[in-house]
Amino acid sequence: MKVAFVGLGRMGSAMARNLLHGGHQVTVYNRTRSKGEQLAGEGAQVANSPADAARDCEVAVTMLADDGAVEEAVFGDGGLISGLKAGAIHISSSTISTNLARRLAAEHAKHGQHYLSAPVFGRPEAAAAKTLLVVAAGDAADIEHCRPVFDSIGRQTFIAGAEPWQANAVKLCGNFMIASMIEAFGEAFATLRKANVAPHLFLDVMNALFASPVYANYGRIIAEEKFDPAGFALKLGFKDVRLVLETANECTAPMPLASLVRDHFLSAIALGQGDSDWSSLARVAARNAGL
């Protein structure tokens, strides 16, 4: 399949590389051209703009940081929407607002193009290992057509619904669940440290209780306080909790815990942790405990 890939951060680079290894013809674009050139040696073509990358493709994937970056890549000068041919499919794997997902679906439809939301769960190491979880939503026929793309980047694909924005709602609520777990670990570890109980002992108990790789991974990072370099920046976690609250407001569904976690993210950013891993949210609970 001819695939355009826009956005070559740690996640995007790994996903594009797995598409190449999966036998797809991949054209890449990134604002920093050198990141694209790193994949040229593995068979990728390097484009000068999102439109150039998308011009002859069947599917274009965007993996970008936030709504603003996606809007610029799609609607800006040399944007994806101006290069994508009629009938081609834009897959947004970015964690974006449900509002932007609806706008993308509408604007692509006006141009005779198709749109799917397919955000992913997993950190950069999971992207590299092709063990991401893909959550897709949109037209059923488009999803089936894109199965080879999803299978090349992840271990399992879930279908959230017929409206693309539904996949974004799943992704935002999932990130809220992870952020809530980080908050819970931070509070528990702060109490246990003051009780002179080793955090790793508690982590072993929790791993036996929940048997979750997410608990094991984040629990270890927090117990060892290895927050840099970031696998997922705290400022992006703050963005996601803010967006899930916007979605909750659209759906008239109170999320009081999300409001608490949002405030703690804001506190962490105010104290200079924005570029550290989002698991460093645990430092807020530690500071509140006088540690």
Contact 25, 59 (CB under 8 A): no
Q: Catalytic annotation on 171?
A: yes
Contact 24, 1 (CB under 8 A): yes
For residue 132, the one-letter residue type is: L
Bridge partners for 159 per DSSP: 136
Q: Which residue reads 């996949």 in tokens?
A: 167
* Alpha carbons 91 and 89: distance in angstroms, whole number: 6
Q: At what angle do helices 213-224 and 199-210 cross, to 10 degrees?
A: 170
Choosing from 171, 194, 235, 239, the catalytic residue is 171
Q: Which positions are annotated as active-site residues?
A: 171
